[in-house]
């Protein structure tokens, strides 16, 4: 499913509403979808819905299924590890690495 198909399905759904877009702490664009009955708000990366069928997405957005589909992994210390069990400090380090300015300046 692509973003356009997803937004069509959300627009036709009685309990879901597209609320616009936002950016996360890494400056990635997200679609914002709200579920009326539960007042839940979801921020969804457009690439995250590719290859996932509407039935699965609808069950997540309506609170019938856990939202966890993928496990985020990263290679920070020389090997890949799951970040779901990391402590607050280690997650902050990961966020700092994503937000770093690693460009070479003009005066270099």
Is the pTM above the cut of 0.75? Answer: no
H helices within 13-71, ranges in order?
A: 54-61
Q: 32 and 54: one domain?
A: yes
Predicted local distance difference test score (pLDDT) of residue 8: 95
Q: Which structural domain range is residue 22 located in?
A: 3-61
> Using CA atoms, how far apart are residues 41 and 75, in angstroms rounded to an integer?
30
With pLDDT > 70 as the criterion, what percentage of the chain qualifies?
A: 72
Please report whether residue 107 resides in a domain.
no
> Using CA atoms, how far apart are residues 53 and 71, in angstroms rounded to an integer?
18
The angle at the Cα of 100, spanning 94 to 106, to the nearest 5 degrees, equals 160
pLDDT tens across 50-82, in order? 888 999 899 989 988 876 654 555 555 566 666
The count of structural domains within the chain is 2
Q: With a cut of 90, say whether residue 39 has pLDDT above it.
A: no
Using pLDDT thresholds of 50, 70 and 90, give the confidence band for residue 92. confident
DSSP 12: H
């Amino acid at each position: 499913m692509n973003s356009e198909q997803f937004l069509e399905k959300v627009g036709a759904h009685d309990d879901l509403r597209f609320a616009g877009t936002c950016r996360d702490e890494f400056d990635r664009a997200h679609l914002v979808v709200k579920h009326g009955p539960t007042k839940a708000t979801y921020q969804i990366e457009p690439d995250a819905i590719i290859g996932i069928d509407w039935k699965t997405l609808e069950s997540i957005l309506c609170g019938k299924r856990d939202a966890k589909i993928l496990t985020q992994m990263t290679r920070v210390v020389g090997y890949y590890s799951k970040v779901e069990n990391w402590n607050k400090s280690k997650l902050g380090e990961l966020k700092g690495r994503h937000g770093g300015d690693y460009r070479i300046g003009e005066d270099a």
